[in-house]
Chains A and B, each alone.
Chain A
Amino acid sequence: MFVVARGIVCALLIVCSVPCRAAEPATLRVSVIPTSVLAPLYAGIKYGYFKEEGLNIDLAPTAGGAIGIPGLVGGSYDIAFSNNVSALSAVAQGIDVQLLAPFPEGAADETAVIARKGEGIKTGRDLAGKTVAVNTNRNVIWLYVREWIRKTGGDPAQVTFREVAFPQMIDALKQKQIDAAFQINVFVIAAGKDPALEIVSFPYREVQPKVQPSQFLATRKFIEGNKDKVARFLKALKRGNEWFDAHIGKDELFSLVAEFTKLPEAVVREMKFQPVAKKVDADELEKTRDLMKREGLLKADVDVKKMIYAE
């Protein structure tokens, strides 16, 4: 009798434990950097879209995107924020990563080449013999500034490229340690207000106006083993995207971005926000791949269509 009762209790416990476990949210570890393009992800977290999909997003913020892919391969992250050049390099080196989702458009209007005012730097041709700052050599910023120099009559071989972190570029420029810098949004805004500096050009506009530099990546191995989790992640992210699109120019978006980037809200209000791209664009990725090949950044050929995750 006691044995039967114990059996019933055990059976009940097993039956109960299944729904209990199912109710526990699954965790996804996502590497992020403090950039405004991640606003849809943060909106999804803030407004509970991921929770509603049974997902707990464990954010792993890093200061730069450099550790995103190594962290992904090493298993520290499930999904990493990275860029198109790093993703293509990874695939060419046999690291099987896939691009999961598009980001807000408008990279072409946010990143600019800046220089000291009155020194006559207007095009790539004016940079012959000069020094240009990039955040990382042989990565996305370096690649596109070189192409911009070429397109505007210059020769990248005659330009010295120096690695300087984005926050230090303006000071380096003013102290004449460099002659121009390819900068990201917040610092472009700061440079625009500085009487000693001027915005020379928005290189993406001239090289590849529809470029999609930012990506969410995951390894194919992870995606195949966690198809349901990835689908739920993308579903919640889509709602975050919709929220983002609906709040462009509104206070809620400004305060959300100020909150996670820790930027002063006054600066955030000056940023240009564009709607989220409808899809990861293979044609744009092909253009990036071809540029990389020309600069010798890709040794192996990459089929970009296979890199884009299709649900």
Chain B
Amino acid sequence: MDIAGTEILKKTPLYETHVAMGAKMAPFGGWLMPIQYDGILAEHAHTRSEVSIFDICHMGEFELEADPLSSGLDRVVTQNIVSMPLGSCRYGFILNETGGVIDDLIVYRVKDQSWMIVVNAATIFGDEKHFLKNMTGKCSFKNVSDKLGKLDVQGPKSKEVLVKIFGDRVKSLGYYTFSEFFLWGERCIVSRTGYTGELGYEVYIPADHVVRLWKLLLEDKRVKPAGLGSRDTLRLEMGYPLYGEDLDTAHTPLEASFDKFVDFSKDFIGKSALLEEKERGLKDNLIAFKAETRRSPRHGFGIFSKGRRIGTVTSGSFSPSLSVGIGMGYVSEKQEAGARLIVKEAAIEIPVEVVKKPFYNKTSL
């Protein structure tokens, strides 16, 4: 069993609330986070049918004032940000010179030259350094991760829940768009984004108001708190990648099959490496697979084809919606949907079938 030990773990403003509400806490990305409340399966099911709220205050936010081209910002990220309408969000990556993924992130265009960038918790400081080093033109860059709280409100009934708090304007938010709202005189950003595959929103609010918003949300009887355990099973059923598992500096977005989040019509750091890789052919391919039984593939298990090891599992879990094990992993030989492989670790042997993502598609998204 994992014990936090002497590692100094950061706590979100909701830490005491989680403990008081009986959450099971565990380390994640340098933070002490709630893994579950009622249980991962119950929270998973509740998110797919009602509404769950997740404390995501550990994730990082940067605020930038910058002309996208002259500041160098557009060169740092793989998505085209110049063409983004105001009030839209766009998913993409920051890469190193060899095309390896430093992080995956979402860019928010707040004003013509005003941006919010949302990054993973464990990569905040590395990302900040990378932006500052590579944005050589005029810009203002603020790491507001500690000042800004983030709650994810996810599930088919999330719209109704948020309309009660923020008003009818929530209804007009389309997928991957956002708007500013005011609550208790505080500026909030609500975006229709998420990591569960359900209709859902991510709410950014000053950190000192997070606990109050959490409690207000829970006054709605349809809403229950959920931990990072179900967040992981929910995202995996959609085939969404987790940075540090499915994405890392050893792999490129092409190997991860996320070409559509890379705009080759512009210049960006890592582009020449990716173009070379296209010429040469991919070394690895991220695949998705489904087990024949309830047994879960796990991170680090080997992937075998006809007795030969061809790769490694990066993410794996039991799928609560499908009641079988599911996973993703990199393999050195391209695999078509329907191919039969074996996932193995010591005495554990799990027959799997390669499938197309998402694993599960009956969602409210």
A and B associate: no
Residues of B within 8 A of A (CB): none
